[in-house]
Homo-oligomer: A and B are copies of this chain.
Amino acid sequence: MSESTVLVLGSDPPPTLDRLTGRARVIFTDEAGLAGRLPTADVLLAWDFTSEAIREAWPERGPKPRWVHTASAGVDQLLCPALIADDTVVTNARGVFEQPIAEYVAGLVIAMAKDFYGSWELQRQRRWRHRETLRLAGTRAVVVGSGPIGRAIGTTLLALGVKVDLVGRRARPDDPHFGLVHASDALNGLLPHADWVICAAPLTDATRGLFGKEAFGLMPPRARFVNVGRGPLVVEPDLIAALREWRIAAAALDVFEQEPLPADSPLWDVPHLIVSPHMSGDTLGWRDALAQQFQDNFDRWAAGEPLANVVDKRLGYVPVQ
C-alpha cells in the first residue's frame, strides 16, 4: 500500500512514533491548522486528547481520515454528528488507564475511610489526636460504569473486601466477575445503601448530569462520592450544596466541568471535598504506553487487519465483549 499520512493533533510533548519511520508520513498540527490538514490525512491521532477542535473541524464531505485514534479512554471530546455518521473508525486508549485509575480510586476510598486528610491537618498543627475510623471490609460501593475502568475499580474494591454493585447501561445477569451487573435504571434503588459511590462512566447524552440533586439526595449521610469519569457527569453546584449541607459525608473529584479548574472556582475549598488535577490514570511512562498502543494499532491498519479498541460511535465507548 502507498505510504499513509498520519496527522497528529498536539505535540506538547510529542509522541515517540519511531515505528512509523519509513511507513507513514507523520505531520503535526495544532488546533488552528487542523481543518486545513484533515483532508490530506489517512489517519488522525488525537494526541492532545483534551482538544475539542476535532468536533469543529471534521469535514462534512470530501476526503477525510478513515481512522481516528484518541490517546484517551473517553471519546466525548471528539465525537460529532458528522464523524458518527461517517465510515471513519474511531479507536481509543483502552487498556492503558484501567489499573492506575483503579489504584487511585482505592487509595481515595481508603484515605477517606481512615481520615488521612484529618491526620495530615493535625500533623500540620503538631497535634496528637487519636480517632476511630472506618473498617473498609464489609462496606458497600456502587460503581457506575461497567466498562474496563469501572470493572477494574470494582475488582480492586472487591479485593479489599468491599461489596460492589456495578452499574452499566444494560443489566447483565451472569457477569463472570460481578455476578449481576445492574442496569442504569437500578441506580436510584442502589444509592440509599451505598457507603461509596464511584463514577467511572463515559460522558454521553444519557449520562450528562447523572449526579445531581436527585442522586445526592438519595445517598445516605455516610456516603462518599468519587468522580474519575468526566466532569459534566456531575452537576457541580448540586455537589457543593450536598457537601455544605452535610447531606453526604465527603467527595473527591479528579475531573471537572472546566479544566484546568480556574483559581477562583468555589470547588477548591468546599468542606470534605478533595480536588485533584485529572491525573488518576496518568502514571510514569503513560505517554510512551499511549504511543506504543497507537503504533500497535497502526501495525494492524497497515496489515489490513481489524483495529483494536473500536469505539461504538453511537454508544460513545468501546462495548465490553
Contact = CB atoms under 8 A, between A and B. Distances in A.
5 contacts: A99-B135, A104-B114, A117-B120, A130-B279, A132-B285
Contacts of A110: 103-104, 106-107, 110-111
A274 interface: yes
Chain A interface residue number, banded: 35 or more
A148 to B, nearest CB: 15
Interface stretch (A33-41, A156-164, A195-203): A156-164
A119 B276 contact: yes
B122 A277 contact: yes
B282 A128 contact: no
Interface in A82-123: 99-100, 103-104, 106-108, 110-111, 113-114, 116-117, 119-120, 122-123
Interface string A264-308: 110011000011111110111110000000000000000000000
Given A111-B116, A160-B156, A128 B284 contact: no
B263 A133 contact: no
A72 B106 CA distance: 28
Q: A-B pairs with the 7 shortest C-beta distances?
A: A107-B110, A159-B159, A128-B260, A135-B283, A119-B276, A126-B268, A128-B277
Contacts of A111: 107, 110-111, 116
Given A132-B283, A159-B160, A277-B128, A103 B113 contact: yes
Contact of A107 (B114, B283, B284): B114
A99 B134 CA distance: 11
A116 B280 CA distance: 10
A276 B130 CA distance: 8
Contacts of A261: 128
Contacts of A132: 279, 282-286
Given A114-B107, A159-B160, A130 B278 contact: yes
A79 interface: no
A284 B134 contact: yes
Given A110-B110, A128-B263, A128-B277, 18 more contacts: A103-B114, A104-B110, A104-B114, A106-B160, A107-B107, A107-B110, A107-B116, A116-B276, A119-B276, A119-B277, A120-B274, A126-B263, A126-B268, A128-B259, A131-B277, A132-B279, A134-B283, A135-B284
Contacts of A128: 259-261, 263, 277
A103 to B, nearest CB: 5
A61 interface: no
Nearest to A135: B283
Interface in A37-86: none
Nearest to A273: B123
Nearest to A254: B119
Nearest to A156: B160
A156 B131 CA distance: 23
Contacts of A103: 110, 113-114, 135-137, 160
A154 to B, nearest CB: 13
